[in-house]
Structure 1
Amino acid sequence: MSGLPELRAAGLVIFRCIATEIQYLLMQASYADHHWSPPKGHVDPGESDLETALRETEEEAGLSGSDFTLIDSFKKELKYEVRGKPKTVIYWLAELNNGSKEVTLSEEHLEFRWLPLAEACSLAKYPNLVSTLEECEEFIKKYKEK
């Protein structure tokens, strides 16, 4: 990667269990390529990665810390380039406490969907995000067995 300053972002992979199905919250960006991803955003100066993930989830999806349970034993770091600049995105896993809780989109997104793994991976497109969702699925299944 180049000597350019790194872009840093953080977010939450939020899931809910409806009957026996695990569903992931994906949101469609209203800018650029209209990509689908979990809620995430850029780290502000003086803010920790986790503080960013929580703030961005509330801003973008209207979900506050009381709406989900953070599973901080799962943390994934993705590194890639955006317009020639290095970027790191940190994701934590969080389970929605009330599966019927309403998601409230900000102007940064066009729509949201709750999707099972295969459909979520199909929309996510980016290989590193697809593999992250697959890792989340494996982790959740083990986590739920406890």
Structure 2
Amino acid sequence: MALRACGLIIFRRRLIPTVDKPAIEFLLLQASDGIHHWTPPKGHVEPGENDLETALRETQEEAGIAAGQLTVIEGFRMELNYVARKKPKTVIYWLAEVKDYDVEIRLSQEHQAYRWLGLDEACQLAQFKEMQAALQKGHQFLCSSAS
């Protein structure tokens, strides 16, 4: 059976979008262990939790952002299936916007750094094609729903 995890693709909109920089920036966290990969906050579902509760709890634990500081975007849910540490894994992501552009990020011991990045830079750091696809689809969803 696949391991199951849930997370939020957290974003903010730049206050003053410029022609050469996209208006949307994604939050990525760098893992403290393994290959020090970059992903949005995510984690394993605990007994009695639903998937979205897991995503919100993990975001609070890993980035210090409480549920009340976020707006979960309706209509976007993406499931990634891949192999991690030789085991099948399923990760479900939702999009969530921070209500305060300058929200304070407080990392747990699981992560050593964070960055707010435009789509291209986020995809370069994300490394894994499944994560890149999730960021691209999230960006596409936000851009198409804004018009």
Q: TM-score, normalised by structure 2?
A: 0.93
Deviation at 1:110, TM superposition (A): 0.3
Q: Tell me the equivalent position of 2:12.
A: 16
Q: Tell me the equivalent position of 2:20.
A: none
- Runs of 4+ aligned structure 1 residues displaced above 3 Å come to none
Q: Which segments of 5 or more consecutive residues in structure 2 lack a partner in the other structure?
A: 18-22
Q: Which segments of 5 or more consecutive residues in structure 1 lack a partner in the other structure?
A: none
2:122 corresponds to which letter in structure 1?
A
Deviation at 1:144, TM superposition (A): 2.1
* 1:1-146 correspondence runs (5 A): 5-18=1-14, 19-20=16-17, 21-145=23-147
Secondary structure in 2 aligned to 1:99? coil
Secondary structure in 2 aligned to 1:89? strand
2:128 corresponds to which letter in structure 1?
Y
Counterpart CA distance in 2 for 1:47 and 1:35 is: 26
Counterpart CA distance in 2 for 1:140 and 1:79 is: 23
Give identity over the alignment, percent.
52
2:89 corresponds to which letter in structure 1?
K
Q: TM-score, normalised by structure 1?
A: 0.93
